[in-house]
Structure 1
Amino acid sequence: MRITLAQIEAFYWTVQLGSAQKAAYHLNLAQPSISLRLKDLGEALGVELLERSSRGLIMTAEGRMLLPRVKSIMAEIQSIQQRDSALAVVGAIRVGLAEGFAVNCLAPLLAGLLEDYPSLEPEWVVATSTTLEASLLDDKIDVAVLLNPLGHEKLALKPLGPQPTHWVAPASWDMGSAVEPKDLWDKPIISNPPPSAMYRQVTHWFALAGIQPQKISVCTSVAVIPELVAAGLGAGILPTAMALRYVAEGTIQMLPSSPKIENGRLFLGSRAGVADQKIMAVERTTSRVLKKMRYLEIDNNNSTLDNPMA
C-alpha cells in the first residue's frame, strides 16, 4: 500500500492536537476520514502507530520513532508553501516613507523586501508624513510609513511603534543641564514646515510651558536639518538614530530636556477598504525589519543618550 501525504498530515495533526477529532476540525475534514487515513498509514508501514488509552490516543513506540521524520516532512511542506506565497507577491507597489524614517531604515527595508518577496518591485517615495497622507488619499502611492499622521476616515492606520526623538543643538553651543522651553525659546529653531509632524512636536513642547519660540526656520527636508544644526545655525528635533550619527562625528549634541520631547508614533497607512497582498507583504517585512534593527527600542530616556560621552 502506498503512503500518501494526506496520511502523514493526519498522523502529524492527530499527535500535535491530541485527538483525531481535533485533527479533523483543523483540516476541515470529517473524523472518519482522519481515522481511515491513520489506519491506512499504519497498514502501509506494517505497524501500529497509535493506540487508545484512558487519556485518548497515544503513540506507540513505532509512532514515536516515526514522528521526527513526519515533522521534517511537514516543515519542508510549510517552507514550500511560504516560498510559493512569497513568489505570488508580484509586481510594482508604490511605497512612501516619512523622510526621517527613510534615512535610517530605507536600506534595510529594501534588503528585507528583496529577501522576503523577490518578485515585488517597490517604488519609493520619500517625503514628509503629511505629504504622504495626501498622496495616499489621491491614489499616488499604495502604502506609507507615516509619522504622527493627522488621520482621515479614508485611511487605514496600523501602529508600528514609537520613533525615539531628541532635541539636538550645535556642538559649539554651551548647553548645561536639561534644557527647558525657556532655554530655547529665543534661539533659532529649524523644523519642517507646518502642519508636519516635526513642527507639531516642536510647537507642542514649547506650548507645554505656555511659550512660543521666537524664530522657527522651516526646511522641507529632514535629512538637511542635521546638516544645518551641525553648521551652528540652530537647534531642532531629530529621530534619535539619525542624531547619533552626528553625535559620533562631534558636530552636534543631543540635549536632555524637561519636559522630554515626545517620541513620534509610526504607522503603516493605506487606503481604507483596500485588501492588497502586496500591501500586506510590505507590512510584514516592515515589522520584521524594525524588530531586527531594534529601531523602536532606542530609549529616549536613557542616560547614555542624555550624555552621549558617558
Structure 2
Amino acid sequence: MRPTFAQLEAFYWVSRLGSLKEAARHLGLAPPTISLRIDQLEAELGSPVFERAGRGLILTQRGETMVPRVASVMEEYDKIRSIVDDNWQHSGVLRVGVPETFAQACLSDYMRIIAARYPALRLEFAVSTSSELEQDVLHRRLDIAFAINPTGDPKLTLVPLGIQPVVWAAAPRFNLPSPLHPSDLRGIVIITNPPPTPMWRQITEWFRQAGLEPHVICRCSSPTVVAQLVSTGLGASLLPRRLVQKSLAAGILRSFESALPLHPSRLFAIYRFADSDSITQEVIALARHAMAQTRLVEPEEN
C-alpha cells in the first residue's frame, strides 16, 4: 500500500471541507481530479474512506482514524514549504464561527489582525448561536468556532478563553429589586434563545434553583434581537453585559445583581481534535489578542 501525497492531500481537504467541489476549489483542481484521487486512495487501502450524505461526504470509521495522521503529514509539509520558500504563506479558506456578542464586540478587530498576519488566507465567517456553532464544527461545516458553554464531544477540543459577563436586564418601568430573585419575575415575560442554547440553559437553571419555572417565555434565536426586545420594555432576560452596555449607560435598561448563583458564561474556542495544526493554534492566539483589546471576556477566577 503506497498512497501518494496527492491522494492524501485530496483526502485531507475533502475531509475538512466536506465535499469534492470545495476541496477542488481550494486546491485549484477540477472536481473529477479530486474524485479520481480519492478513488485511487480507496483502491490502495482496500476500503472506502467516505460515504455519501445528501450532497456532501462523511468519513467512514477508517477515514476518521486516518484524519489525524494525514493532518500531521500536511502540517509537516507546510513546515517544509515555509523553509524552502520564505515567501510562502498560509493560504486557502478558513471557516470561522462566532456568536453575536463576539461579532459585535471584536470581529472587525479580529479580521484585521488575521489579515495582517495571513494576507493570503481567505476567511469565511458564520454568526450563529453557540449550540449551532458547536454542531457545525462537529459536522465539519466550520473549521473553528468560538462558543459559550459548549456541551462537548469526544471529537472536539475545547480551549477556554475566559468568562463573558452576563446580567439580568429589564426596563426601569418594571421597578424590579436588586438583587433579583426568580420570584420577582412572576408575571414578567422572559425573553430567551430557544433550547438547547446556553442562554436557555442558564435561565432555566437559575429559576430551578428556586423550584420555579418562568411564567411566560418568549423564544428568539438572536441574542441581539432579544436585547432589543428587552430594551423596548417587553420583558426581562439574562444577557451578555457587552450586548446591553449602551442601553444600560443611557438608562434605557437597568441591570440587576442575582440573589442566586448564576452559571458562568465561559467562552471557548472549539475545533475537531483531528484537525489541530499550527494555523488553528495561531488563529486562537489572535482571537485572544482581539478579545483582550475589546475586553470581551474576563479571566477565570482561581
Return the TM-score normalized by structure 1: 0.66
| Residues 80-103 of structure 1, C-alpha deviations (whole Å, 9 max, x = no match) | x9xx98962222100001223222
AA aligned to 1:225 is V
Q: Which runs of 5+ in 2 are unaligned?
A: 1-81
Shift of 1:241: 1.2
Is 2:183 the partner of 1:171? no
Alignment coverage as a number of residue pairs:
219
AA aligned to 1:142 is D
Q: Is the 8 A contact 1:230 1:252 kept in 2?
A: yes
Superposition map of 1:213-292 within 5 A: 213-292=214-293
Aligned twin of 2:75? none
* Secondary structure of the structure 2 residue equivalent to 1:168: strand
What is the alpha-carbon distance in structure 2 between the residues aligned to residue 204 and residue 280 of structure 1? 33
Shift of 1:111: 2.1
Q: Is the 8 A contact 1:240 1:298 kept in 2?
A: no
Return the TM-score normalized by structure 2: 0.67
| Residues 205-249 of structure 1, C-alpha deviations (whole Å, 9 max, x = no match) | 111111111111100001111110011111001111112121123
Q: Is the 8 A contact 2:93 2:123 kept in 1?
A: yes
CA RMSD of aligned residues (A): 2.4
Aligned twin of 2:11? none
Q: Is the 8 A contact 1:165 1:262 kept in 2?
A: no
Aligned twin of 2:59? none
Q: Is the 8 A contact 1:116 1:285 kept in 2?
A: no
| Residues 114-135 of structure 1, C-alpha deviations (whole Å, 9 max, x = no match) | 2332222211000011111111
| Residues 274-301 of structure 1, C-alpha deviations (whole Å, 9 max, x = no match) | 133332221110111222323223999x
* Secondary structure of the structure 1 residue equivalent to 2:287: helix
Q: 1:224 to 1:147 in 2, by over 3 A?
A: same
Aligned twin of 2:119? 118
Q: 1:154 to 1:85 in 2, by over 3 A?
A: farther
AA aligned to 1:250 is G
* Secondary structure of the structure 1 residue equivalent to 2:199: helix
Shift of 1:174: 1.0
Larger Rg: 1
Q: Is the 8 A contact 1:96 1:145 kept in 2?
A: yes
Q: Which runs of 5+ in 1 are unaligned?
A: 1-80, 301-310
AA aligned to 1:192 is N
Q: Is the 8 A contact 2:162 2:298 kept in 1?
A: no
- Identity between Structure 1 and Structure 2 (%): 35
Aligned twin of 1:133? 134
